């Protein structure tokens, strides 16, 4: 006779009931898991309902959403994305290996100074760094964001370099980058790309091989010209101040000489006027004084021989210096000078003793003339 185990039967019934509720439990577990999502620091979650964005969650932590009908797409707001223009970096198998680069000629070649007649071609390479600032626009407004940024950068770069000179394109990279960045940002904003341009940085700007040689020759010529200009400027800075100082000194000396001459002339004029005033009062005395002083100076400065006539009415003067070498004067003999002075004193005394005779002699001289 077979024995029926009631406990076993009850256990089987319970298992059947649990198996009936198992799909429901699995579904509930799946719904519970799909309704929870986590947002990390520096991230944003875009919540979509039936494929349409309904909200953006930027607070870090655990958040809830409607299961099945809502989905969360996470976007990093802190990550710096980089786009290369004019070249591409080839991925290496190991981080220890040096990176290899490949050039993109159709992007590199840009025309500079296109407005004037000196347009040239340069090869330029840039990088653009950006980050997401509007997750909804970033995910849904632009299909191929990287290609769009590259095209916008190309347009801004070519428009900017057309207005600058070749020297500026080769040397003034910072100002060119600063001019390109707001232009790229403005166009991306008009496309609602949802990104912020962090930096536009020119990596390298070079010349074509055919242009580089000619440019170097121009640079050498410019350096030589600038050196000569600088040398001339140094010479000017040295010579001109010296010439100006000498000119000022000459002017000052001329002014001083003019002042001395004027002072001497004024003194002579004053002396002459004073003498003339005395002469008007006492003409005989002043005439005698002038004659005496003139004779003394004449005899003192020359070698003179005085010859008197027998009656003492006429004096002959012989200047011995006229017989010397051309323009030279011999030394004056003190005894001869003393004797000459004595003769002058005798002449003066005789004139004072007989003024009438002197007057008569002067009249005779005038008649003879």
- Which residue range is the domain that position 72 belongs to? 19-76
Q: Is residue 5 part of a domain?
A: no
Residues 104 and 191 in one domain: yes
Residues 63 and 85 in one domain: no
The pLDDT value recorded for residue 229 is 92
Residues 66 and 104 in one domain: no
The pLDDT value recorded for residue 96 is 61
Residues 121 and 41 in one domain: no
Q: Is 172 exposed, middle or buried (0-12, 13-18, 19+ CB in 10 A)?
A: middle
Tens digit of each residue's pLDDT, the chain (369 residues): 455 566 676 677 777 776 666 677 777 777 777 788 899 999 999 999 988 889 999 988 898 888 878 889 999 999 999 999 999 988 755 566 667 889 888 898 888 876 666 778 889 999 999 999 999 999 999 989 999 999 999 999 999 998 888 888 888 999 999 999 999 999 999 999 999 999 999 999 888 877 777 777 877 888 889 999 999 998 888 888 888 899 999 999 999 999 999 999 999 899 888 888 888 888 888 888 888 888 787 777 776 666 666 665 556 666 656 554 344 444 444 444 454 455 445 545 544 444 454 445 445 434 544
Residues 71 and 121 in one domain: no
Residues 132 and 71 in one domain: no
Residues 85 and 203 in one domain: yes
Q: Torsions phi, psi of 199, nearest 5?
A: -155, 140
Distance of alpha carbon 203 from alpha carbon 173, whole angstroms: 9
Residue finishing a domain among 176, 207, 238 = 207
Residues 110 and 146 in one domain: yes
The pLDDT value recorded for residue 92 is 59
Q: Tell me, what CATH number does 187's domain have?
A: 3.30.479.30
State how many domains the chain has: 3
Q: Which residues contact 185 (CB under 8 A, 6 or more apart)?
A: 196, 197
Sign, CA torsion 153/132/196/169 = negative
Residues 55 and 85 in one domain: no
Q: Is residue 223 part of a domain?
A: no
* Model confidence, pTM: 0.53
Distance of alpha carbon 316 from alpha carbon 304, whole angstroms: 10
């Amino acid at each position: 006779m077979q024995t029926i185990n009631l406990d076993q039967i009850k256990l089987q019934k319970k298992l059947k009931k649990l198996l009936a509720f198992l799909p429901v439990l699995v579904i509930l577990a799946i719904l519970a898991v799909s309704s929870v999502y986590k947002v990390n620091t520096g991230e944003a979650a875009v919540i979509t309902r039936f494929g349409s964005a309904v909200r953006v969650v930027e607070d870090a932590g655990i958040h809830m959403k409607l299961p099945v009908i809502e989905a969360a797409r996470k976007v990093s707001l802190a990550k710096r994305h980089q786009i290369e223009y004019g070249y591409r970096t080839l991925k290496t198998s190991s981080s220890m290996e040096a990176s290899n680069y490949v050039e993109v000629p159709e992007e590199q070649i840009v025309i500079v100074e296109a407005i004037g007649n000196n347009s040239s071609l340069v090869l330029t390479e840039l990088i653009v760094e950006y980050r997401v600032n509007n997750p909804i626009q970033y995910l849904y407004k632009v299909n191929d964001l990287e290609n769009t940024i590259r095209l916008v950068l190309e347009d801004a770069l070519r428009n900017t370099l057309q207005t600058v000179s070749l020297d500026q394109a080769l040397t003034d990279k910072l100002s060119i980058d600063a001019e390109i960045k707001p232009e790229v940002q403005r166009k991306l904003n008009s496309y609602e790309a949802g990104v912020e341009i962090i930096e536009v940085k020119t990596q390298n700007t070079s010349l074509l091989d055919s242009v580089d040689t000619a440019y170097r020759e121009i640079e050498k010529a410019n350096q030589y010209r600038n050196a000569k200009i600088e040398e001339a400027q140094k010479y000017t800075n040295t010579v001109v101040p010296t010439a100006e100082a000498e000119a000022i000194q000459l002017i000052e000396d001329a002014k001083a000489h003019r002042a001395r001459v004027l002072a001497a002339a004024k003194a002579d004029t004053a002396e002459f006027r004073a003498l003339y005033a005395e002469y008007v009062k006492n003409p005989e005395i002043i005439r005698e004084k002038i004659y005496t002083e003139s004779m003394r100076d004449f005899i003192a400065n020359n070698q003179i021989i005085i010859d008197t006539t027998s009656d003492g009415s006429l004096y002959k003067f012989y200047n011995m210096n006229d017989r010397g070498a051309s323009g030279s004067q011999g030394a004056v003999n003190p005894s001869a000078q003393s004797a000459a002075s004595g003769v002058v004193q005798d002449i003066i005394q005789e004139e004072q003793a007989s003024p009438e005779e002197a007057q008569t002699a002067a009249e005779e001289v005038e008649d003879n003339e």
